[in-house]
Amino acid sequence: MLRLGFDNEKYLQMQSKRIKERISQFGGKLYLEFGGKLFDDYHASRVLPGFKPDSKINMLVQLKDEAEIVLVISAGDIEKNKVRGDLGITYDADVLRLIDAFRGYGLYVGSVVLTQFGGQASAVAYEKKLEGLGIRVYKHYPIEGYPANIPHIVSEDGFGKNDYIETERSLVVITAPGPGSGKMATCLSQLYHENKRGVKAGYAKFETFPIWNIPLRHPVNLAYEAATADLNDVNMIDPFHLEAYGETTINYNRDVEVFPVLNAMFEQIYGESPYKSPTDMGVNMVGNCIFDDEAVCQAARTEIVRRYYKALCDHRKGLLADDVIYKLELLMKQAGTSIADRTVATAANKRAEETGEPAVAIELPDGTIVTGKTSALLGASSAMLLNALKKLAGIAKEVKLIAPEIIEPIQKLKVGHLGNRNPRLHTDEVLIALSICAVNEPKAALALKQLEKLKCCEVHSTVILSSVDENVFKKLGINLTCEARYETKKLFHRN
Residue 40 lies in a domain: yes
Q: Give the pLDDT confidence score for residue 304 in this predicted structure.
A: 98
Residue 489 lies in a domain: no
How does residue 490 score in pLDDT terms, banded at 50, 70 and 90?
A: low
Residues 261 and 410 in one domain: no
Residues 133 and 249 in one domain: yes
In which domain, by residue range, is 275 found? 8-289
Q: Are 315 and 484 within 8 A, CB to CB?
A: yes
* Burial class of residue 394 (count of CB atoms within 10 Å of its CB; 0-12, 13-18, 19+): exposed
Residues 47 and 127 in one domain: yes
Question: How wide is the angle at C-alpha 137 spanned by C-alphas 131 and 138, nearest 5°?
Answer: 155
The amino acid at residue 402 is I
Residues 390 and 462 in one domain: yes
Among 289, 309, 327, which residue terminates a domain?
A: 289
69-85 residue pLDDT tens: 999 999 999 999 998 87
What's 414's domain CATH number? 3.40.140.40
161-191 residue pLDDT tens: 999 999 999 999 999 998 889 999 999 999 9
Residues 89 and 185 in one domain: yes
Q: Are 182 and 140 within 8 A, CB to CB?
A: yes
Residue 48 lies in a domain: yes
Among 289, 324, 340, which residue terminates a domain?
A: 289
| pLDDT value at 491 more than 60 | no
DSSP label at residue 204: E
Q: Report the alpha-carbon distance of residue 447 to residue 395 in Å, rounded.
A: 8
199 CB-side CA count, 13 A? 18
378-410 residue pLDDT tens: 899 999 999 999 999 999 999 999 988 888 888
Residues 128 and 253 in one domain: yes
Q: Report the alpha-carbon distance of residue 178 to residue 356 in Å, rounded.
A: 42
Residue 258 lies in a domain: yes
Q: pTM for this structure? A: 0.92
Residues 106 and 241 in one domain: yes
| pLDDT value at 125 more than 80 | yes
Count other C-beta atoms under 10 Å from residue 51's C-beta. 26
Q: What are phi and psi of 442, to 5 degrees?
A: -55, -35
Which residues face 119 on adjacent strands?
A: none
Count other C-beta atoms under 10 Å from residue 243's C-beta. 10
Residues 77 and 179 in one domain: yes
Q: Give the pLDDT confidence score for residue 287 in this predicted structure.
A: 97
3-state secondary structure of 376: coil
DSSP label at residue 89: S
3-state secondary structure of 469: helix
Q: How many residues does the chain have?
A: 495
Residues 65 and 167 in one domain: yes
Question: Which DSSP helix (H) or strand (E) runs through 208?
Answer: none
410-427 residue pLDDT tens: 888 888 888 887 778 889
| pLDDT value at 244 more than 70 | yes
What's 17's domain CATH number? 3.10.630.10
Residue 310 lies in a domain: no
Q: Are 384 and 355 within 8 A, CB to CB?
A: no
DSSP label at residue 65: T
Residues 365 and 448 in one domain: yes
Residue 294 lies in a domain: no
Integer CA distances (angstroms), 344 to 183, 281, 312, 375, in order: 41, 42, 17, 20
Q: What are phi and psi of 142, to 5 degrees?
A: -60, 140
Q: Report the alpha-carbon distance of residue 392 to residue 403 in Å, rounded.
A: 20
Number of domains into which the chain is organized: 2
Question: Which DSSP helix (H) or strand (E) runs through 468?
Answer: helix 467-475
Q: Report the alpha-carbon distance of residue 371 to residue 378 in Å, rounded.
A: 13
Residue 297 lies in a domain: no
267-293 residue pLDDT tens: 999 889 999 999 999 999 999 999 999
Among 271, 289, 307, which residue terminates a domain?
A: 289
User: What is the percent of the chain where pLDDT is above 70?
Assistant: 98
| pLDDT value at 477 more than 80 | yes
Residues 243 and 163 in one domain: yes
Residues 281 and 357 in one domain: no
Beta-strand runs (E) in 59-199 = 67-74, 108-115, 137-139, 171-175
Count other C-beta atoms under 10 Å from residue 216's C-beta. 14
In the chain, DSSP finds a helix count (H) and a strand count (E) of 20, 12
491 versus 485: the higher-pLDDT residue is 485
Q: Report the alpha-carbon distance of residue 343 to residue 371 in Å, rounded.
A: 12
| pLDDT value at 294 more than 70 | yes
Q: Report the alpha-carbon distance of residue 274 to residue 263 in Å, rounded.
A: 8
Cα dihedral across residues 314, 316, 317, 321: positive or negative: positive
Q: Are 146 and 116 within 8 A, CB to CB?
A: no
133-150 residue pLDDT tens: 999 999 999 999 998 899
Torsion of CA 37, 38, 42, 45, to 10 degrees: 120
87 CB-side CA count, 13 A? 18
Mean pLDDT over the full length of the chain = 93
Residue 304 lies in a domain: no
Q: Give the pLDDT confidence score for residue 494 in this predicted structure.
A: 58
